[in-house]
Chain A
Amino acid sequence: MSLAFNETSNVLQARAEHNEKLARRADRTRATWFPIVLLALLLAVPALQFVGNFNYVIHLILFTACYAVMASGWNILGGFTGYISLGHNVFFCIGGYFAGMLLARFGISTLLTAPLAGLVCAAVGYLIGRITLKTRGPSFIISSLALVMIARILFDNWHFVGGANGVALPANDLSVEWAKLPYYYAFVVLAALTVFISYKIKHSKFGLGLRAISKDEIKAESAGIDTRTYKTLAFAISAAFVGMAGAIWGEYLTYIRPNIFLIILVSVNMVLMCILGGKGTIAGPVIGAILIVAFNEIFVATLGSSEFNILATGLIMALALMFFPLGIVGTLAAKHRLPRFLNWD
């Protein structure tokens, strides 16, 4: 019997069987029904429009889904790989402008061009990542901030896309009750897709490599992982998701302008959602998105001015970093208190 293990293929097969057993055991504790029910409920929400005006509810869910896409996308780079980027709204902007200009010039809906915008952002992200991912830690954070500043000056002065005034996009010709629906469904489906893909990435060999990089890059490299390609690909994938969100967001707002995409609050929100929910977990960014959007609505409704919104966002970020650096999902999981329906990993 022991002789049989000298054959490499036998060892590999035994290992594969063992891994499958582990995966089955993990699956038994998983509440797969929860995300599916949640998705079904969200898809059914617009039916409320038959009984009254729920545009505000639809807007809130749409807004949350948009941020869930962006935060989950950011999480692939910031959470799995450990490279914290404060400049991911650059891709939000590029996606928004690419699809928005196609809509303005040729009248093609961004719902169709969003995947294309994602590809463009992935390509741009690949090139930028190729350069900036040479730096690490605080240097990378600073270079990502510089990226936002450079993009802001470029877009403010690029006359083809309207400079600082931006471009107005045609609104769709649906009646008021149904005008939000195409974007609502687009964002909910995109959010589900993003969550599913980040789950798939986390459980692939690629995701394992990314997590190794976040633990210790030098050791990961000496273990034979091509760290440069891995992290650049992670950058490109996360840029693609953020870009797709930007593409649809532009048409939803019916105008594109540098100061809706390239403000610091957008990129902070992405980071904050992941930190609050749990960096590197699948459910974390979604929970973070729900919480931050809710906080923002409450602050704006009760306090009114945007200054206090910035103050409160900063305060939440500082407190979360100081007392819950693992985030909600991470802290609960570390204490073995994570409810089954939140265990999406």
Chain B
Amino acid sequence: MADIIQTLILGLALGGVFALMGSGLSLVFGVMRIVNLAHPVLIIAGAYVAYWGFRLYGIDPLMMLPVAIVILAAIGVVLYKLVFEREARSAKYSEMTVLLTFAIAMIVEGALGGFFSNTQRVTSPDYATDAIFIGDVFIPTGQLYAGILSLIIISVLALFLKYSSFGYAIRATTQNREAAELLGVNVNRVALVSFAIGIGLAGAAGCLVSFVFSFFPAKHWEWIAVLMSLVVLGGMGSLLGTVVASFLLSVIAAFVGTYVGATWSTMTFFLALFLILLVRPQGLFGEKPELA
């Protein structure tokens, strides 16, 4: 029994981090219909910002959160201006942007590899190796902090989308781009800002990832399919769906890891992605088969 509770807690703790990793991807797809394959590598870039602050100045990765968000959001603005603004007129927009973000992922990976080399890194603040014991069950503090913080960030984002007027514009654009434009929403500005927010979220996720997982530039290839499975299961563009799917899949993966074998736990995400795309491409909370 203690085993089952332990596995459940470990799964839930990781679920929070995965939710933050997936939310930026979901937001960018919702507004711009871009499947951003470069999202995971930008998360790793965020993790390197945290690593850099930790190694050079001894700053806690959690304190680096705002810095990483600002740096990554700036990268997002540059990418949008350089690449995606002019692609909006392309005929095969959705396929084109998938390939383009794939190319960007390679560029960022190569640049990170050139600067930081391809060795495994991890930031190691005190709480990362600590754990809280409740009876027989333990909760790793690093994952606990990361999970709570990502839920706070996602809640702030959800409140912003729900109650601010700009959030209104973002949601309107997500639902129907043409109609929003007709009603006077500046969809280009909405797209730019939400792309920047999405990539900024990658930076935030990177800071949390930096002490939860060890990372190196080429690691993002595994995460592409993992994050895609979360976002597709939740329904592309649905923030709530992404959060629910993250907890669901990471708990399942934790059980598979404990009772079947550690190598098969990531397989859960890949198989889930495969099955969802075939059985219910709109995901749990998606309204129509948007990707098809």
Binding site for B on A (CB under 8 A): 84, 86, 131-132, 134-139, 141-143, 145-147, 149-150, 153, 156-157, 264, 268, 271, 275, 305-315, 317-318, 321-322, 325
Contact = CB atoms under 8 A, between A and B. Distances in A.
A311 B232 CA distance: 28
Q: State the main secondary structure of chain B at its contact with A.
A: helix
Contacts of A264: 221
Contacts of A305: 113-114
A318 B100 CA distance: 6
B114 to A, nearest CB: 5
Interface in B273-292: 273-274, 277-278, 281, 291-292
Contacts of A143: 273-274, 277-278
A135 B106 contact: no
A90 to B, nearest CB: 13
Contacts of A134: 278
B69 interface: no
Contacts of A313: 106, 110
B96 A310 contact: no
A317 B108 CA distance: 13
Contacts of B106: 268, 310-311, 313-314, 317
A157 B35 CA distance: 30
A271 B224 CA distance: 18
Given A310-B106, A310-B109, A314-B104, A153 B266 contact: yes
Q: State the main secondary structure of chain A at its contact with B.
A: helix
Interface residues of B, number: 46
Contacts of B232: 142
A317 B102 contact: yes
Given A138-B291, A314-B104, A307 B96 contact: no
A135 B35 CA distance: 15
A305 B274 CA distance: 35
B181 interface: no
Contacts of B278: 131-132, 134-135, 143
B114 A308 contact: yes
Among A149, A306, A309, A317, chain B packs the most CB atoms within 10 A around the CB of: A149
Given A142-B35, A264-B221, A315 B107 contact: yes
Contacts of B108: 314
A268 B109 CA distance: 14
A150 B291 CA distance: 21
A325 B97 CA distance: 12
